[in-house]
Structure 1
């Protein structure tokens, strides 16, 4: 029996779909010069007055996320994820809560970190991420609201009010 199960025992297709979702990560791992990137998963729903985007960005601080409009109807969410973890110093147990070293791993520090630690499983996405959302109707860019809570980025993009017809009088 394996220490870590990688696939559920049922006839579930979730692992296949995850492989397809992470294709770019697997392809990038072949070349050493490729920048690691991933696409966070989002739920997008429409209400009568707005579009609601809820994305999974666990462990990514707010300052590492940028939200901007690339054109009047296209919202871009991008940023960077780094792997952070704490390890107890030699001779101390994790339960003692003594001094701990925080190690950050980014693309530039991977070789240094791999020499210090032995990963049994590395499933967390690190690197740069980028998602683009194009809306079919005009949106009100000035009233967009975003919040990050418990690793979920919630963005509300209000629809622009329909332009009202204006009657022009002839002089």
Structure 2
């Protein structure tokens, strides 16, 4: 076992994924999922971490056009939606293998109560969307976020 391998992190990651699947299933069965969430064809992976003065969410969105990404802070959640389109047509031939994900995507992140929604910044660079969410003392209202 290498010194960088941490089986507890893998177990935690698996548990979070199972919890996410169960939450999604419950939301869909109770009619709480939005139409956008119901038609999402893939789910980009994300890292979340906290600094002294902000929360950071990084989503891998390779091949997604910046114009196809939308973010919104609403009801204590950060909603990220978009679409990845197939750019190439296999004219005169047929694909033999398609492993990459295409189509609409949707992610929903619960925000802590101490965030400044008006100060949220989103930067898209090299296929990674980085969302910086500043901390504050009181909850804030719903706002739209521009991707830079």
Task: Note whether the superposition's TM-score is higher than 0.5.
Answer: yes
Does residue 1:153 correspond to 2:126, yes or no?
A: no
94, 119, 124: which one pairs with 2:100? Answer: 124
Superposition map of 1:11-90 within 5 A: 35=39, 37-71=41-75, 73-85=76-88
User: Which position in structure 1 is the counterpart of 2:32?
Assistant: none
Q: In terms of Rg, which structure is larger?
A: 1
SS of the residue aligned with 2:87? strand
TM-score normalised by L of structure 2: 0.63
Aligned pairs, how many?
Answer: 107
TM-score relative to the length of structure 1: 0.55
CA distance in 2, matches of 1:61, 1:117: 26
Q: Which sections of structure 1, spanning at least 5 residues, go unmatched?
A: 1-12, 24-33, 86-102, 104-112, 164-171
Moved over 4 A (4+): none
**1:162 offset after TM fit, Å?**
5.8
Structure 2, gaps ≥5 residues long: 1-9, 22-37, 140-148
Q: How does 1:86-101 map to 2 (within 5 A)?
A: none
Between the aligned partners of 2:123 and 2:71, the Cα distance in structure 1 is 11
CA distance in 2, matches of 1:46, 1:36: 27
1:49 offset after TM fit, Å?
Answer: 1.1
